[in-house]
Amino acid sequence: MKRILEFLFVLAMIAALYIIIFSNMGLYWKWGSATAYFAILFITIYSLLLENRTAQHTLVWIYALVFFPLFGYIFYLYSGQLYLKGHLFKSKRKHDREELLLLAKREQKPDWSLFNEHQACFSRFAHNVTMTFQNSATQTKILKNGEETFPEIKRRLLEATRYIHIEYYIFRSDRLGKEIIDILIRKSEEGVEVRFLYDAVGSLTLASHEVDRMKKAGIKVYSFLPIKYGFFNQKFNFRNHRKIIVIDGAVGFVGGLNVGIEYLGEDQKFGFWRDTHMVMEGEAVQTLHAVFLLDWDYVSEEYLLEKEEYIKPVPVAGDGVVQVVPSGPDTQEGIMSDLYYSLISCATKSIWIATPYFVPNEAIRTALRIASRKGVQVRLMVPEINDGFLTQYATRSYFPELLRSGIEIYSYKKGFLHQKVIIVDGDMASIGTANMDMRSFHLNFEVNVFLTGTSSIKDLAEHYEEDIKDSEKVRPVGFYKRGLWERTKESIARLFSGIL
């Protein structure tokens, strides 16, 4: 009933605007149309006020509704109500929680006596609020950029003997995509089970004939939330941003790189592409695999978690603690934001952040400012040129308050920086798919890996120092002298920060 009413409201607004602006009807018709238009706006804004959102989010949507006739209302229908749409994935969230908790019960609690104070600070919080466990029998290896990531992926895929499970937000039909598809087809023909899951929006350019080619080879292929549910269905806003490969339950890949030639730096628009991926072996692969299997069950209704061959851990000698954490509409609201906040709050010496999109909530901004005021070294690295006007200028709008708190900001100039990495005190880190923005915190399906005391953290720190050499430090005096037009663009973009 609500969808029908919204549809009628849209038609009424279109008719009202047409009569007011384009028709030659009399004054009474125009006044009547204006009254109907503003009545719909009033009803929408009143309903918005009753939802008791934050003042920031409420004002953003009031601005959009009032100052963008019709388009603001349509945008609100598709994006403005998303925070309240938990029922869209209620069954998946309940099912996933039960399955993840069952897996966690199979494992032992971490021994916090082995951690130092700041490690135990974060580990205890992560243990209490997440539905996944912290694993010590896991090895991790950092893969820098596409030049290290894709050769490793291809090599491991060719070594598969039982199954390959792959899930991507963006998977293109370009040279790189075809090379991987060819490997998947080859392995399928050799008798290896291959399951392929791609996001319907992110992988919009994945050619249908490539999908057909995989299916003909015996590969099971599904898209995540295809856009076929009608104009007023909002599910297309919730995208699966995860990048997961699991091979034989023993090897897992996760990180920032999708599949496309731009991730090799071969796209002229973006040029050099700076990103970070990770390959891991051991117990934590089981959790990463569970995330894939739950997504697969949701789209295909093929339930595989009951089969031991898919969830049996393959432990290896580890050198630290590894925890895989999914987030999104199928998990606890805002869990990734809470984990980032805790990681920052537990820092005692340093916080190094690299992210392509920095549009944080107030809690994270406050945590960063307080950490810096306490004497913790806080570094933020973002790309000089972003791939979107709103994200680029919304990010810059936060620079003044960060600079005033003594936070170091670096603008990466070598190319497009796409990695999502946080390094704390040199012995804790986060790497994965979640950006530091509201879409990653609330709308997208994401997955991150939190590392404690692993040798791979040292590699992340060394790469970060190398990236600083390819960056320019934002100087407070120079930044404050930027022109009025730049400040105007930042202020406009910031109005939309609550939905970026």
Catalytic residue IDs: 241, 243, 248, 418, 420, 425
Count of C-beta atoms within a 10 Å radius of residue 52: 7
> What residue type is assigned to position 384 of the chain?
E
Q: What is the dihedral of CA 437, 442, 443, 448, to 10 degrees?
A: 70
Count of C-beta atoms within a 10 Å radius of residue 254: 27
Q: Which of 347, 323, 340 is nearest to 104 (CA)?
A: 323
- The Cα–Cα gap between 449 and 322 comes to 7
Entry field: residues in the chain: 500
422 CB-side CA count, 13 A: 29
Q: Let me know: does 263 contact 275? Beta carbons within 8 Å.
A: yes
φ/ψ of 244, rounded to 5, equals -135, 135
Hey, what are 106's tokens?
Answer: 């199979």
